[in-house]
Amino acid sequence: MKISKEHNERKNEILNTAERLFSIKGYERCTVNDILNAVGIAKGTFYYYFKSKEEVLDAIIDRVTEIVIVRADKVASNPELSPIMKILYTILSMKIESEVDNEFLDQLHKPENALMHQKSLSSIVTRVTPILVKVVEEGISQGIFKSDHPAQYMKIFLTSSITLLDDGIFELNPEEQRLTLRALVALLEKMLGVEDELFWNVAKQYWT
């Protein structure tokens, strides 16, 4: 049987289904045929919309990144918030569970999804760093922060946070996770030249 649909409708249908399946089985273990069966389309249809399985992954990562960016931007451009709060909330906004993409972010961290993780790490670090840097510069100009290498520091902070916390790579138990988080926040304080515990005192109520 043949069911015709609007181009973008079909495309999103494939994207949504693939995202769900990648979340459950992981990218590598999810077959193109799995997607076909779930969507209810034929091979040809799939390759009519995407030229490879990897292109689907890229499209999904773009979508997920976009969600993270929008959230971060919203925080960073909120005039009500001090730079300190902006930094914290932006970082928090990346961990907070959203309704839809939570499973996906979960799966991202399984060790067997190395490709998925690397692409997403790269995408998120690249896009979020400038947002954080702008906030840091705002803080510097207000005399709240002091930092010699804002851009590099934010990149380092994001990279290590995501790799160490969001990841199945290092399988941390809850206590280790707490210690890592503690150290990351302490490091952020050093990076921005604020007094010790400043961020931590605010952050700890959200995290643990």
* Segment interacting with DNA (CB under 7 A) among 51-59, 144-152, 174-182, 185-193: 51-59
Residue 58 touches DNA, criterion: CB under 7 A: no
Residue 165 burial class via C-beta count within 10 angstroms: exposed 0-12, middle 13-18, buried 19 and up: middle
Who contacts 24 (Cβ-Cβ below 8 Å, separation ≥6)?
30, 103, 107
Residue 102 near which of DNA, a copy of itself, none (CB within 5-8 Å, type-dependent):
none
- Of 21, 39, 121, 135, the one binding a copy of itself (CB under 8 A) is 121
Residue 170 touches DNA, criterion: CB under 7 A: no
Residue 187 near which of DNA, a copy of itself, none (CB within 5-8 Å, type-dependent):
a copy of itself
**Contacts to DNA from residues 2-41, by CB under 7 A:** 2-7, 10, 30-33, 40-41
Residue 14 touches a copy of itself, criterion: CB under 8 A: no
* Segment interacting with a copy of itself (CB under 8 A) among 3-11, 66-74, 78-86, 149-157: 149-157
Residue 97 touches DNA, criterion: CB under 7 A: no
Indicate the residue among 48 and 206 with the shorter CB distance to DNA.
48
Q: What is the nearest approach in angstroms of a copy of itself to the Cβ of residue 39?
A: 26
DSSP string, the chain: ------HHHHHHHHHHHHHHHHHHH-TTT--HHHHHHHHT--HHHHHHH-S-HHHHHHHHHHHHHHHHHHHHHHHHT-TTS-HHHHHHHHHHHHHSPPSSTHHHHHHTTSGGGHHHHHHHHHHHHHHHHHHHHHHHHHHHHTTS---S-HHHHHHHHHHHHHHHHS-SSS---HHHHHHHHHHHHHHHHHHHTPPTTHHHHHHHHHH-
Contacts to DNA by CB under 7 A: 1-7, 10, 30-33, 40-45, 47-49, 51-54
- Binding stretches for a copy of itself (CB under 8 A): 111, 114-115, 117-119, 121-122, 125-126, 148-149, 151-153, 155-156, 159-160, 163-164, 169-170, 179-180, 182-184, 186-187, 190-191
